[in-house]
């Protein structure tokens, strides 16, 4: 399959694979209501732990023991301000801002997909199929996250979004770092625990206390602001975990360096890096373009998906950024 396949196929993979779909609403709080300690990265000590889960979704198994060496990880998701500095110093242009070359795409790809843009949620009418919940909107990118007329003024501390895998990787290389492996991300997200969630107990909001920005209410028709937000939140609105890391669960999905395969390889147990591209999974039996994303997002609801768990994983087309996927980096 050609480079990045097609935007049409990218959207199709996104729509079929994403389990956490919801409205892209404006955050109810300003960035001044959330704060992050002035810390660049936090140390995640090496550990042996049980990676994966056999009790929820098939692709999360088999649960198996892995050993991961210690590493430094960004304390929070990369923000608009941080990404803007990268762009200013390098003149980098993201995938969503580039004009597609028609020669790279099949002849039957709709014309509207051959424009720079990205995917936005379109609130569904009752009974409307999932395929109609999202729209390709030309002019949407990290600078214009809610469509071409929007901007990021006053949102310096929000996670940068509409970032494709190669954009995240380019930023990481600029910092002298890399994207986390799936195992590194899961170790950090488990928060020194082996429980279902990243905090004590087996409830999303124990005693009514929310630890992450997720969806409350009946998806997709009702999103209650019980956690203080009904959409994307600035970084650091919830307490850090035991490593001093923020928002590893919820807010935005995050890119990892792993190619996607719909199950774990239990023999890949020492600093696992996942399958090669050749051995990874392609739904159309062509060259794989899917990477693993982790952590869930503000679009995850208890009645629709359970992706706000450390073991949760999802396939995402590496050539497609969306309104609820971000990233952070690690230093090994």
pLDDT at 122: 76
Residue 179 · residue 327 · CB < 8 Å:
yes
CA–CA separation, 306 and 315 (whole Å) = 15
pLDDT at 29: 39
Query: Which tokens sit at 305?
Result: 């998906």
pLDDT at 103: 79
Please name the residue that has the structure tokens 């919940």: 133
pLDDT at 4: 40
Domain that holds residue 194: 1-332
Please name the residue that has the structure tokens 């995240």: 168
| CB-facing half-sphere around the CA of 181: CA atoms within 13 A | 20
pLDDT at 287: 66
pLDDT digit of tens for each residue in the chain (332 aa)? 334 444 433 444 444 344 333 333 333 333 445 777 667 999 999 999 999 999 999 999 999 999 999 999 999 999 999 999 999 999 999 999 999 888 777 788 887 778 999 998 776 766 677 667 788 899 999 999 999 999 999 999 999 999 999 999 999 999 999 999 999 999 999 999 988 989 877 787 777 788 888 777 777 777 788 777 888 999 999 999 999 999 999 999 999 999 999 999 999 999 999 999 988 876 555 667 899 999 998 887 777 778 989 999 999 999 999 999 999 999 99
CA–CA separation, 2 and 222 (whole Å) = 40
Please name the residue that has the structure tokens 């099949």: 106
Identify the CATH number of the domain in which residue 152 sits. 3.90.1580.10
Split into its structural domains, the chain has a count of 1
pLDDT at 206: 79
């Amino acid at each position: 399959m050609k480079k990045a396949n097609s935007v049409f196929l990218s959207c199709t993979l996104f729509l079929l694979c994403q389990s956490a779909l919801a409205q892209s609403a404006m955050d109810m709080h300003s960035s001044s209501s959330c704060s992050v300690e002035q810390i660049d990265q936090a140390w995640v000590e090496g550990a042996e732990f049980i990676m994966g889960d056999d009790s929820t979704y098939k692709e999360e198994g088999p649960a198996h023991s892995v050993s991961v060496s210690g590493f430094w990880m960004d304390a929070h998701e990369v923000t608009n301000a941080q990404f803007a500095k990268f762009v200013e110093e390098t003149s980098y242009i993201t995938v969503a801002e580039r004009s597609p070359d028609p020669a790279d795409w099949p002849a039957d790809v709709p014309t509207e997909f051959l424009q720079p843009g990205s995917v936005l949620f379109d609130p569904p009418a009752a009974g409307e199929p999932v395929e109609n919940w999202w729209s390709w909107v030309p002019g949407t990118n990290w600078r214009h996250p809610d469509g071409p007329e929007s901007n990021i003024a006053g949102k310096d501390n929000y996670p940068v979004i509409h970032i494709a895998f190669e954009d995240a990787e380019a930023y990481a290389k600029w910092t002298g770092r890399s994207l986390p492996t799936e195992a590194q991300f899961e170790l950090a997200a488990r928060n020194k625990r082996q429980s279902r969630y990243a905090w004590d107990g087996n409830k999303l909001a124990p005693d009514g206390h929310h630890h992450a920005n997720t969806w409350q209410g009946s998806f997709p028709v009702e999103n209650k602001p019980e956690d203080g937000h009904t959409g994307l939140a600035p970084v650091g609105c919830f307490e850090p975990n035991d490593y001093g890391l923020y928002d590893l669960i919820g807010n935005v999905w995050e890119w990892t360096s792993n190619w996607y395969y719909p199950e774990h390889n239990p023999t890949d147990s020492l600093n696992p890096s996942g399958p090669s591209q050749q051995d990874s999974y392609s739904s159309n039996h062509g060259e794989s373009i899917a990477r693993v994303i982790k952590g869930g997002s503000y679009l995850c609801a208890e009645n629709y998906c359970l992706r706000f768990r450390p073991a949760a994983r999802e396939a995402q087309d590496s050539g497609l950024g969306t309104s609820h996927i971000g990233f952070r980096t690690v230093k090994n």
